Structure 1
């Protein structure tokens, strides 16, 4: 809860300072800082979804709804689909987050869809659209209790989180009338999209862009452990503490019940055990600019996987790269 108090205080403090000075010299700094803090709020709600925030499920639910609804994320809808991701990480067909496209599906996609998926910055703006319609080849919505994402017993939870999302959206509409749309765009709209870019950037790099090709599995070749070891740790430099060490992703996938404030300690303890199966992140230096290079390289190389085979690797489509060039 101390992290929640800290982050919420910073969010309101940043907004108050930006509104008070209302200077175009400060707004860009505010947008980056506040968008990063929205991302930090998401990570805390992410812990609520895993049950690592508290041993009390009710507190997890209340805190998760408040944190996620404030940044227009349907808490239960996302929590359940994220559970699916963790239960099937590294599985070609069953994974939920940034899973690979089989070659046959890749070749059926329209040119516009391919450009949006593989041409920056569009993939870094994907999260709201994923919430509404999921990824290519998968049906359903995080807002629809009848979606095949959810079990019948989970429908009430989805209705609750969708109602909270609607309430937050209604509040934002009301604030537009009170403060004006331009001021709301500056205070909330642009930081929201910075948050979306952080979320897509970080979650993508957890599963792509390593110097060595990462395997994806099918059938009997897949296991929870093998799938978890296809994730990557990333070093975000001075931002690590701000977004609650979310870059320690390998240990999080193996043991999602570990709270974020123990992830660094747990990672250091696990390194000798994992040995060569732990992929050490590059040292970021003062700014994690090298991660942009990893992202760009991955977007050019990680297009699809083979339709056959129980251990497959990303392949590149030369035609797509030629069109973008």
Structure 2
């Protein structure tokens, strides 16, 4: 190895360890700073957001029907479709986030009610609720852990990882993930016998059955009645936009320059959760239930989405040295971090702390 290359490696190692947060309080200490009401779901408020989202979804669907029937020109009809796809896909993403709250138990105090509502919300957007719930809980238990996290983790050179689609194919990678998982530690969300899901075989099977029922009793009859083109235009393309939201957001929650990833012996729960990144999603931020407010969500996943912003204000005031946030525009951040991630996610077997760095030649 050349002298210059040794210096570059050393520089990156030093940078990685400098990125590790210092003076990290315990989870209990952080929780003491937050009002107790933040940990108490408000059932009326939770259902209000469900109803509101379904009303918006219904109005958007009605709008595309009205445009199809009454728009004076074909160009106007075609021009409206991308708007409909984008906004309806965003609303499907909002429904997903409400189901995500159910999976964390922050929708209500009842596990049964959470699972009923979560199954309903997720099945309607073709997400197997319980398998996703299990894998997502695994992610939360191991966030920022190179050796145990669930997706978008750095891969050691002894492990094999296939090349990525350009920009993950946006929503395409979500469906790929459901079918085959994320290597080299894949979990197949459509297989209730998968080792990650086997303990919850019944619940996972129920969620898969509900998705199958929605396809068989909802989508197939819709295609039979109105045609496959209408099903695609009204539902499947917005589903792709939703899946793209999911991929972009999930990736950016935990990927940014100088955000540390830890080898298992160097990792602990609080440091791992602090490797989450807060981002603001502009016009859609509140509409999709503040999911970009991610550090406090990872520290305390029981906090309902409608308290995340307030809790974050307190956290940032009390622990300014622990805040990780980015104001970079979302799509440019995704484009930048995808290419950095694609070039740097393969790491040495003995790496203890890993960070991504935009200019790999800087010292």
Report if TM-score (shorter chain) is over 0.5.
yes
Separation in structure 2 between the aligned mates of residue 124 and residue 98 of structure 1, nearest angstrom: 15
Comparing both chains, which one has the higher relative contact order based on Cα–Cα distances under 8 Å and sequence gaps of 6 or more? 2
Number of matched residues?
Answer: 304
Question: Aligned-pair RMSD on alpha carbons?
Answer: 2.0
Q: Is the 8 A contact 1:244 1:260 kept in 2?
A: yes
Match among 183, 201, 204 for residue 248 of structure 2: 201
Say which of 184, 188, 192 aligns to 1:141. Answer: 188
Please list, as runs of the form range in 1=range in 2, the aligned pairs for 1:127-206 lying within 5 A after superposition: 127-152=174-199, 154-170=200-216, 171-206=218-253
Match of 1:35 in 2: 89
The reply to whether residue 267 of structure 1 matches residue 312 of structure 2 is yes
Compute the displacement of 1:273 (Å): 2.7
CA contact 1:305–1:315 (8 Å) conserved in 2:
no
Shift of 1:123: 5.0
The correspondence of residues 277-296 of structure 1 with structure 2, limited to 5 A, is 277-282=322-327, 288=330, 290-296=332-338
TM normalised by structure 2 equals 0.79
What's 2:125 paired with?
71
Structure 1: distance between partners of 2:226 and 2:351: 57
Cα separation, partners in 2 of 1:123 and 1:21, compared to 1, 3 Å: closer
Q: Which moved more, 1:215-224 or 1:25-34?
A: 215-224
Instruction: Give how far 1:189 is off.
Output: 0.8
Does residue 20 in structure 1 map to residue 66 in structure 2? yes
SS at match of 1:26: helix
Structure 2: gaps spanning 5 or more residues? 1-46, 69-76
1:276 aligns with 2:276: no
C-alpha deviation, 1:219, in angstroms: 2.9
Does the alignment pair 1:216 with 2:269? no
Larger radius of gyration: 2
In structure 2, the CA distance between the partners of 1:92 and 1:184, relative to structure 1 (3 Å rule), is: same
Cα distance between partner residues in 2 of 1:299 and 1:124:
18
Using the TM superposition, name which of 46-55 and 119-128 deviates more: 119-128
* Correspondence for 1:114: 163
Please say if residues 215 and 311 of structure 1, whose CA atoms lie closer than 8 Å, have aligned partners that are also in contact.
Answer: yes
Pair 302,262 (structure 1): closer, same or farther in 2 beyond 3 Å: farther
Q: What are structure 1's unaligned runs of at least 5 residues?
A: 319-325
Question: Of 156, 159, 163, which residue of structure 2 is paired with 1:102?
Answer: 156
